[in-house]
Structure 1
Amino acid sequence: MDGPGGLARLCVTLMVTRFAFSTPCSGEPTVMGSDPNGDQAMLPRTIFALDIVRHSRGAVVSVTGDLDLETCGHLTEALDALAPDGGQTVTLDLAAVTFMGTEALHLLLGLRGRARAEGWALHLSGVPYVGRRVLELTGTHRLFVFRTVPAPGVPGGTADRPYGGGARLPHADGGGGGSVVVRVSGELDIERAPALGRALQARISRPDCPPEIVLDLAELGFCDSSGLNALLRALASAEERGRRLTLRNPSPQFLRLLRLTGTGHLFPLHAAGTEGG
């Protein structure tokens, strides 16, 4: 209906559903403290979650966690329960996905075929770099529509950028207290890692370099083995000169890379808020 000034008001009814899948986090103490027997309290840890927002023209399904062989089935079951009608659009928001394996590619291709057969549309949004890379290498990115997620309840959205940007050379700020903060942003792969390695080497080799170099990874979108190798070389160079290289704000994707390669123990984590300036 039209209101004052002739502006039309659109009323949309939203239905929000959340599915969370947890496992006991054995060996990972929570902030809840200790039990009366002196053992650290253990609580379930959510490893995968789906948030579904329904609107008049379809739904937005937001995925959190690893999308792999074990969890792809949960997404399939959720879409079975959603049962989109012909003419509706389902947008998969993958911005909070921390890992995508080949199983995820098979799932997406299967969902695309299902959507075409049943007459609804499948759009992708927020696909992480590693997922986009898989789509690009297999040539299947041409099969999907990439969108930004619209505001809740508002159909549509604008075209998403096809692929992420490259890494920018690190920017250093004086951290105070005998440290320097080096901010790394963008994506670190085989094409961009050498430039980062040279920049870090130049910083570490400077006579006025402070005892601690803090790598702030808050804006690092993706890192592969080439980027990790550049950081390992920088770590070795710093130690040779009696300096300390620490990490701050590592992303889930980067922490997963450290776990898979067994190199996590080599990089001390810098406690946020301890540097000056």
Structure 2
Amino acid sequence: MVHKDELLNLSEIARLAGVARTAAQKWHKVPRKTGGEPPLLLVVKALEANARDAEALEGGPPDAEAPDSQEVQGEETEGEEAEEGGEHPPLYSREVVVAFLKAVGYMNADESPMERRVGKGKWAPTHPTIDPRRAQQPAPDSGQKPLKVDPRTGGRIRYYLPHAWKLAGFGSENSFSSSKTHGRAPLPDGIDELERPYWFAETLEAWKAGAEERKVERYASRTVPPDGYTSEGQPYRVLPGTNYYARKAARTAGAADQEEPSREG
């Protein structure tokens, strides 16, 4: 069990994130629309899984155990109103809160506040963030490259639209966003606790490396023979019906059929 001075209530979480308490309340209480637990509880469970994995690897209890969600919600704190139904106000360990804020873009890796991007629509983190789940690295003798992770926590680095496009080899964020809409970009590796898509570096780098192969495949589909040629030698296809060269060839063929035979002789 963590010490009481290491626990934060919703008002303290809100101050640490620089948001209103209602935002912290939502992170604590509202399940995601795409399914799953509320955001803060997702991180609680992620850190609990990290602790279990560490215990399994070391053959003993981990150095620091993530607080169980039931334990952190049963403490009382001064200045915090009780929840509806007379329940004690929720408390989360600072470890959980910091991991959450680093994951969703409110806090940098060094725990300093992350500046917010200015723009319309659903905001995305200004810089890549850190997944709260400790990554499982490939075995040393597997021949696979190690995953790129945060050196402090071992969590993989999440890239969002503002920084993913460059790593994937696109010319701009708008180009990446448009290509994603039309299915011409790498599929996201997941959605974060606030339901925004993200990618890992390995996914983006693999997409960039495969650009030439996709280009060859795309142009190979254009080598299918045309449906015909105009009198000027321009190729055309019958479909779609609005094809300029197809209409021109049809008019030329029709004019030839309508020519009257010569009356000489």
Answer whether TM exceeds 0.5 for this pair: no
TM-score by length of 1: 0.21
More helix by share: 2
TM-score by length of 2: 0.22
Q: Which has the larger radius of gyration?
A: 2
More strand by share: 1
